[in-house]
Structure 1
Amino acid sequence: MSPRTISPQIARSWLLVPASHPELFAIAQESEADAIIIDMEDAVAANDKKQARKDTVEWLTTGHRAWVRINDASSEFWSEDCAALKQCEGLEGVMLAKSESSSHLDDTADRLVDGTRILALVETARGMQNVAHIAAAPSTFRIAFGTGDFKRDTAAGEDPIALVYARSQLVIASRAARLPAPIDGPTLNITHLPSGTAHAKEMGMSGKLCLTHEHAAIINAGLSPSEKDIAWAHGFIAAFEASGGKITDGSDLPRLARAQKIVHQAEDFGIEVAPAEVSHSGY
C-alpha cells in the first residue's frame, strides 16, 4: 500500500488491476499508487467474469480495500456486479464504465450501499455530450476519462491536441458541479508518461489512471506541486503575513490563494521543502 494514505478526492495515481489476475492484487496494494481499482470490465473476458467477480469479492471481504471498475449499466454483467459488491466491507467505491447519463449513476447507486462513492468513467461521445449532467448527479464522486475507448468511439488521433476539448469539458463540468478535478486516462508508454502527466496537469486534471504499478511514482511526482512552487508558496505567504496582509495590487489575493493551495497540497502529499526567500511581490 502507498506509504501515505491519500484521500480519493485528491488521489493522483489510480492503478487498474485485472480482476482475472488476483495474484496481482497484493502487488498493487504494496505499490506507490494512491488508489487501487480492481478491473472487472475491459480487463476480463466474458467467460472469466464470474470467477473474476468471485475473486474480487473474496479479496474485499478478507481485510483488503480497493475500488472496483464494474461493467457498464447496459451490460448483462452490471446487475450481478452491483449485487456482489453490495456487502463487501472493503469496497472503497466503484468506477462505472461507459457512464453516459445521470440515470446510469443513479441506477448504480440504488443497487449499492447508501453513500457508496462512484467514479463516472466517461469514454464515449454520448457520455461527453452529457458530462455536465453526469457531474451534477448526486451519486457522482469524481469523473475519470476513458481515453482509449473515447478515441475509438470518435476516431480521434494520438496527438494530445485531439483531446483538448474533451479534457476541458471534464474539467469545466467537474468544477461547475463542485467535484474534485477529474482523472485523466492512462499513458501506456512509460517514455511518454512524464509529458502525458504534465499535459493532464496543465489541462486542470489532478489524477491519472495507469495499468502498471511502475507508472505510479511518475504520476505522483508529476501531479504534485514542484519543490520550486512549494518554496515560493511558503515564501509568498511569509512575506504577505510580514507585511500585515497589505494588498499592493490586484494580483495579491489570487496569488495568496494559489500559494495556500500549494502548501495544502504539499502537506497532503507529505512533501517538505525549505521556504524560498521572496518578496511580497515576488513570482
Structure 2
Amino acid sequence: MPRTVISPLIARSWLLVPASKPELFEIAQESEADAIIIDIEDAVAAKDKAQARADTVEWLSTGHRAWVRINDAASEFWSTDLAELKDAPGLEGVMLAKTESASHVDDTADRLPEGMPILALVETARGVLHVERIASAPSTFRLAFGTGDFKRDTATGDDPIALAYARSQLVIASRAARLPAPIDGPTLSMGALADGTRLSKEMGMSGKLCLTHTQAATINAGLAPSAEDVAWAHGFVRAFEESGGKITDGSDLPRLARAQKIQTQARDFGIEADAAALGELNY
C-alpha cells in the first residue's frame, strides 16, 4: 500500500535514501515513512554524483515526489544540484547540507522556484552558533540536526547529554521563529531506536531522520500520541464541555490545550483512541 500522506509541517519519520541506489526509491515510496529525502550529498561519492543526480531528476520527472538533500553551499556540487533539480516537477523541497548561515538558505532559495521549502540541516559548530539567524531566514521551512557530522566536527561523544545543548538550541530557535519543531538526527541501531526516538521527543523535537525504511514505524509511533493519550484527551475535552467550560483550578487551561493538541495530532496521524482506556479513565 502507498504510504499515508502527512504534511511536512508535522512529518515524523524522514527517510534518507541514497541517490546512488535508485532501486531503493520505490521501496521508500511504499514504506511507512512520512517523508522521503533522496540523498545526493553524503550518501554519494564525488565520482558518482552526476549519475545519481540524473537518476534523481528522472525519478522526480516520472510521477514521483520527494525531497532531495543537496550538497552544501560551499561545495563544488551545490550550484549544479540546484540547476538540475529546480525544474523537476516532483521536487517537494530541498534539505541543505551543512547550513551555517542565513545567507546559505537565502542563496539556495534564490536558485529555486519561489516558495520552494528548504530544510536547513545544522551539523557543525558554526551552524549551531548561528542557528537563530538560520531559523529566521524567510525560506527556512524547518530545521534538522545532523548529529553524525556535528559529533565529528566538535569531537562530541555518544552520551545524549553531550548533544543536549545543541538540540535545545535548535528547539528554541525553531520556536522563536515560529517554525515547526525540528527534526532530530538518526539512531543507527535498531535496538536503540525506541530510546533514541523517546529522547528526541523529550528534547522537544517532532521529527527524526532514518536511514532505513524499517525504522519508520517505530519513529512514527514514538513521535505521536499513544492510543491511551488520545483516550485521555477525548475524555478530558468531553468532561470539560459537559461542565460548561468551568475552570476549577489553574491547571485546567494548560490541560485543555494539551488535550486539544493531542486530538489534532490524532486526526492528522489517523490514531484511534484506546476503547478500553476511554471507558476506564475517570475525568
* Cα offset, 1:2, TM superposition: 5.0
**TM-score normalised by structure 2 residue count:** 0.97
Equivalent residue number for residue 136 of structure 1: 136
Alpha-carbon distance in structure 2 between the residues aligned to 1:31 and 1:5? 11
* Cα offset, 1:3, TM superposition: 3.3
Equivalent residue number for residue 117 of structure 1: 117
Alpha-carbon distance in structure 1 between the residues aligned to 2:280 and 2:259? 14
Equivalent residue number for residue 217 of structure 1: 217
Letter in 2 for 1:10: I
1:226 and 2:226 correspond:
yes
CA contact (8 A) 2:3 2:29 kept: no
Unmatched tracts of structure 1, length 5 or more: none
Task: Give the alignment's Cα RMSD to 1 decimal.
Answer: 1.0
Map 1:25-44 onto structure 2 (within 5 A). 25-44=25-44
**Residues 69-98 of structure 1: CA deviation (Å, up to 9, x unaligned):** 000000000000000111011001000000
- Between the aligned residues of both structures, percent identity stands at 77
Alpha-carbon distance in structure 2 between the residues aligned to 1:250 and 1:66? 45
Change (3 A) 1:205 1:69: same
1:162 and 2:162 correspond:
yes
Alpha-carbon distance in structure 2 between the residues aligned to 1:251 and 1:139? 37
Letter in 2 for 1:128: V
Equivalent residue number for residue 202 of structure 1: 202
* Cα offset, 1:278, TM superposition: 4.5
Letter in 2 for 1:135: A
Unmatched tracts of structure 2, length 5 or more: none
CA contact (8 A) 1:236 1:278 kept: no
Alpha-carbon distance in structure 1 between the residues aligned to 2:218 and 2:130? 32
CA contact (8 A) 2:118 2:142 kept: yes
Map 1:1-283 onto structure 2 (within 5 A). 2-273=2-273, 274=275, 275-276=278-279, 278-279=281-282, 282=283
Report SS of the residue matched to 1:33: coil
Tell me the matched-pair count.
280
Alpha-carbon distance in structure 2 between the residues aligned to 1:226 and 1:206? 14
Letter in 1 for 2:219: I
CA contact (8 A) 1:8 1:35 kept: yes
Alpha-carbon distance in structure 1 between the residues aligned to 2:11 and 2:108? 23
Letter in 1 for 2:78: W
Letter in 2 for 1:212: T
Structure 1: which 4+ aligned runs deviate by more than 3 Å? 274-279
* Cα offset, 1:227, TM superposition: 1.4
Alpha-carbon distance in structure 1 between the residues aligned to 2:137 and 2:117? 12
Alpha-carbon distance in structure 2 between the residues aligned to 1:68 and 1:256? 38
Report SS of the residue matched to 1:119: strand
Letter in 2 for 1:93: G
